[in-house]
DNA sequence: AAGCGTCCCAACCGCAGGTTG
DNA sequence: GCAACCTGCGGTTGGGACGCT
C-alpha cells in the first residue's frame, strides 16, 4: 500500500513505513513528546524527513486514533460539517475525535462524495443538480439502449447508429421546470448516413436544461471543426434557438458528432461538458467526454482522469466532479 | 487461473501562513 | 523589513487489494 520505497536526493527514505521505524518513532515520542519535527528523525535514529515523521504520527501512530469503519453518526456529521466548511478537512477532523483529516478526506473522496452524486446532489454545494438531467438522459441512452441494440443486432450497425442519433434528437424532459430550447437538425443534412432515414431531417428535438444553458452540436474529424468550436456554433440557449441557417450546407461526413453543454451563472461560464460520438466503428460508439479542448478523456471510469474538466467557482486545481456525475449516476448504471 | 480495470488509502508534494533571528 | 525555517493543510499519486470477465 502507498508509495514504493524511494530515496530523495539527500538519501532520506521515502515510501511505506516498516514496523521498526514505527517503533522508533513511537518510542521517541512517548519519551520526549513530538517537539521539533525537523530534528526528531535524527534524534530518534530515523532516516526520514521530519515531515514524513509528523504525517506518520498524526495519521497512523497516534494512540488516540480511532480505527475501523466510520459510523452512520460520523458520516452524518461529516456531511453536515462539509456542507458548512467545505474541504476544510482539519476543521472537520477537530469535530470527530480520533479521526484524522487525511482519513476523513479519503473517506469523503471514496464514499460520501460519490453517494451524494448518485443521489443527485452537487458534492460541493450539497444542492440538487436538476439542470443535469437532460444530459444524463442522453448519456443514459448511450450506455444502455445503444449497447443493447448493438448486442441484439450487431450486423446492422448503421441502423443502430441512426436509431441512436434519433433518440438523441428526440430526447425530451417534460418533468423538468425549464424547457427552454429546441434544436433543428439541418446540420445533419447531407450526411450519407442520415440520407437513409429521411424522416430525421428537419426533425425538432427538445432538450431541457437550465434557463441559462448553452448547447452546440458539431461534426468532428472535419477540417473546419476547430474554427467552428470558437463560434458561431456555440449557442446560448436563452430562451430558444435553432442552428444558424448558414450551417445548413455544412458538410457532415456522418462519422462523428459532438454534443456540448455549457452552464452559466450570469454571463460567466461555470462549467462546460461535451460528449463525442464516433461513428466510424460500432465499438467506438459510446460517447467519450471531452473538455473545452479536443482532448478525449482516455479512461472515463477512473475519476482521476477527469482533471481536464474544470469545475468553475472553486479553488484552482480542484478536479471536477462532473465525470463522476455521469458515470456514477443511477440513471447511467 | 489469468488478465484486466477499478477501488482504496497511506504517503507524498506544493504551498501558505506563522515564527524566528 | 526580510529571509530562512518550520508547521500544517489540501490536493494528488501510485501500488496493493479486490472484483469482474
Numbers of helices and strands, H then E, in chain A: 13, 9
A104 confidence band (pLDDT: 50, 70, 90): very high
Average pLDDT over residues A11-24: 86
Residue A283 phi/psi, 5° resolution?
Answer: -70, -20
A86 closest-nt by C1' vs CA: C10
Between these two residues, A254 and A247, which has the higher pLDDT value? Answer: A254
A17 touches strand B (CB under 7 A): yes
Average pLDDT over residues A224-239: 27
CA atom of A69 to C1′ atom of C20, Å: 25
Long-range contacts of A59-63 (CB under 8 A, 24+ apart): A59/A100, A59/A102, A59/A103, A60/A17, A60/A22, A61/A22, A61/A25, A61/A26, A61/A29, A62/A100
CA atom of A32 to C1′ atom of C1, Å: 36
Residue A207 pairs in a beta bridge with: A181
A159 touches strand B (CB under 7 A): no
Q: What is the pLDDT of residue A125?
A: 81
A105 closest-nt by C1' vs CA: C10
Q: What is the pLDDT of residue A129?
A: 63
A184 has a pLDDT exceeding 70: no
A5 touches strand B (CB under 7 A): no
Nucleotides of C under 7 A from a protein CB: 5-17
Enter the C-alpha cell of residue A85: 466548511
Pick the CATH number of A72-118 from 1.10.10.60, 3.40.50.300, 3.40.630.30, 1.25.10.10: 1.10.10.60
A84 has a pLDDT exceeding 50: yes
Q: Which of residues 188-247 of A touch strand C (CB under 7 A)?
A: none
Q: What is the pLDDT of residue A64?
A: 84
Between these two residues, A51 and A270, which has the higher pLDDT value? Answer: A51
Q: What is the pLDDT of residue A97?
A: 87
Q: Which of residues 285-314 of A touch strand C (CB under 7 A)?
A: 304, 307
Q: What is the pLDDT of residue A270?
A: 40
Among protein residues, the one whose C-alpha sits closest to the C1' atom of B9 is A106
Between these two residues, A63 and A127, which has the higher pLDDT value? Answer: A63
Among protein residues, the one whose C-alpha sits closest to the C1' atom of C8 is A90
Which CATH code for domain A6-61?
1.10.10.60
Q: Please, are residues A269 and A234 in contact by the beta-carbon 8 Å criterion?
A: no
A281 has a pLDDT exceeding 80: no
Q: Which of residues 64-123 of A touch strand B (CB under 7 A)?
A: 102-103, 105-107, 109-111
CA atom of A7 to C1′ atom of B16, Å: 26
A106 touches strand C (CB under 7 A): yes
A293 confidence band (pLDDT: 50, 70, 90): very low
CA atom of A57 to C1′ atom of C17, Å: 24
CA atom of A327 to C1′ atom of C11, Å: 22
Q: Which of residues 34-93 of A touch strand C (CB under 7 A)?
A: 35-39, 50-51, 54, 87-91
List the one residue out of A170, A171, A160 whose CA is nearest residue A137: A171
CA atom of A301 to C1′ atom of B6, Å: 8
pLDDT digits (tens, 9 = 90+) for A297-318: 223 333 222 222 222 222 222 2
The C-alpha atoms of residue A223 and residue A142 are separated, in whole angstroms, by 26
pLDDT digits (tens, 9 = 90+) for A31-62: 888 778 888 888 888 888 888 998 899 888 88
Sorted by where each begins, the domain ranges of chain A are: 6-61, 72-118, 132-328
**pTM score, whole prediction:** 0.49
A302 touches strand B (CB under 7 A): yes
**A293 to each of A64, A132, A229, A296, A310, how far by Cα in Å?**
48, 21, 9, 9, 11
Among protein residues, the one whose C-alpha sits closest to the C1' atom of B6 is A302
Same fold, A6-61 and A72-118: yes
Amino acid at each position: 500500500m502507498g508509495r514504493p520505497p524511494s530515496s530523495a536526493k539527500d538519501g532520506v527514505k521515502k515510501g511505506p513505513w516498516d514496523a521498526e521505524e514505527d517503533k522508533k518513532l513511537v518510542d521517541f515520542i512517548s519519551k520526549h513528546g513530538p517537539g521539533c519535527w525537523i530534528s526528531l528523525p535524527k534524534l530518534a535514529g530515523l532516516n526520514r524527513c521530519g515531515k514524513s515523521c509528523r504525517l506518520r504520527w498524526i495519521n497512523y501512530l497516534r494512540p488516540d486514533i480511532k480505527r475501523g469503519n466510520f459510523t452512520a453518526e460520523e458520516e452524518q456529521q461529516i456531511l453536515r460539517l462539509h456542507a458548512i466548511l467545505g474541504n476544510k478537512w482539519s476543521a472537520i477532523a477537530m469535530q470527530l475525535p480520533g479521526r484524522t483529516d487525511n482519513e476523513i478526506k479519503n473517506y469523503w473522496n471514496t464514499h460520501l462524495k460519490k453517494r451524494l452524486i448518485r443521489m443527485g446532489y452537487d458534492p460541493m454545494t450539497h444542492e440538487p443538480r436538476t439542470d443535469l438531467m437532460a444530459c444524463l438522459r442522453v448519456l443514459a441512452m448511450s450506455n444502455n439502449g445503444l449497447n443493447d441494440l448493438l448486442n441484439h443486432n450487431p450486423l446492422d450497425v448503421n441502423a443502430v447508429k441512426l436509431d441512436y442519433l434519433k433518440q438523441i434528437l428526440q430526447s425530451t424532459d417534460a418533468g423538468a421546470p425549464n424547457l427552454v430550447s429546441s434544436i433543428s437538425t439541418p446540420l445533419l443534412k447531407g450526411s450519407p448516413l442520415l440520407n437513409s432515414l429521411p424522416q430525421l431531417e428537419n426533425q425538432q428535438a427538445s432538450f431541457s436544461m437550465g434557463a441559462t444553458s448553452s448547447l452546440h452540436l458539431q461534426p468532428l474529424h472535419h477540417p473546419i471543426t476547430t474554427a467552428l468550436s470558437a463560434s458561431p456554433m456555440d449557442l446560448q440557449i436563452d430562451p430558444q434557438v435553432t442552428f444558424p441557417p448558414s450551417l445548413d450546407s455544412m458538410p457532415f461526413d456522418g462519422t462523428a458528432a459532438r454534443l456540448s453543454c455549457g452552464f452559466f451563472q450570469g454571463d460567466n461560464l461555470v462549467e462546460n461538458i461535451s460528449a463525442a460520438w464516433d461513428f466510424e466503428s460500432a465499438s467506438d460508439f459510446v460517447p467519450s467526454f471531452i473538455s473545452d479542448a479536443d482532448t478525449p478523456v482516455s479512461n472515463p471510469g477512473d475519476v482521476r482522469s477527469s482533471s481536464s474538466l474544470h469545475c468553475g467557482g472553486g479553488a484552482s486545481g480542484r478536479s471536477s466532479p462532473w465525470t463522476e456525475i455521469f458515470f456514477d449516476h443511477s440513471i447511467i448504471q
